[in-house]
Amino acid sequence: MAQAKELARQCVTPPLLKNSKSAAVFEHKPSLKVVCNYLIRDCVKRYPLENCPLCKKHVLAEDPENQLKGRKNQIERVYCGHLFHNGCLDTYMKTPPFIGGKKCPSCDKRIYHEKWKVSAEVMENRWAHKQAKQRELEEVVDFLKD
C-alpha cells in the first residue's frame, strides 16, 4: 500500500530538488490510473503466482484454506516488491556474507525490511556468537559420548 501512496504522491507533488531535470519538466497528472495499474498489474495479478526467490516454492497457496500456518510460512514483502517466506528470508538475512547488505536474488536490489535493519557488523557478531555456541555444544556432546 505504501508503494501505491508513493506513486500517487509523485503524480501530484513536484520533486523537492529544484535543480533536477525532473523538477524542470514536472506536470501534474491524474494519479488514479497509475495507482490502479500498479495495484492490478504488480500486486493482484502477480502475487498469486509468485515463488519465494530462495526456496522456489509458491508463496501463496492456490486455495486460501490450504495456506500453511506458522511463523516460517508467513509472507514478507521486501522493498523491491518480491515476496518471501519469513523463514527463508530470516535464514538468508542472518547468514554471511553481510558486507554491503543482502540483495534480492530475483532483481539484485538491496533488501530493505524493518525486521532486519541492524548493521552488517552487528549481524556478523550475532552469527559468530551463534556459531561459537553451536561448536561448544557439539564439543560437550562429543565429550559426553565417550
Domain-wise residue ranges, the chain: 1-45, 51-146
Q: Each residue of 70-94: pLDDT tens digit?
A: 778 888 888 888 999 999 999 998 8
Calpha distance 68→21 (Å, rounded): 48
- Cis omega (within 30 of 0) on the bond before 30? no
Confidence of residue 126 (pLDDT cuts 50, 70, 90): confident
Whether the model pTM is above 0.75: no
Calpha distance 97→8 (Å, rounded): 37
**CATH fold of 51-146, please?**
Herpes Virus-1 (3.30.40)
> How many C-beta neighbours within 10 Å does residue 82 have?
22
Nearest to 61 by CA among 104, 105, 52, 88: 52
pLDDT at 137 over 60: yes
- What's the rounded mean pLDDT across residues 2-27? 76
Nearest to 95 by CA among 130, 136, 61: 130
Q: Each residue of 101-121: pLDDT tens digit?
A: 889 999 999 887 777 777 777
pLDDT recorded at residue 22:
57
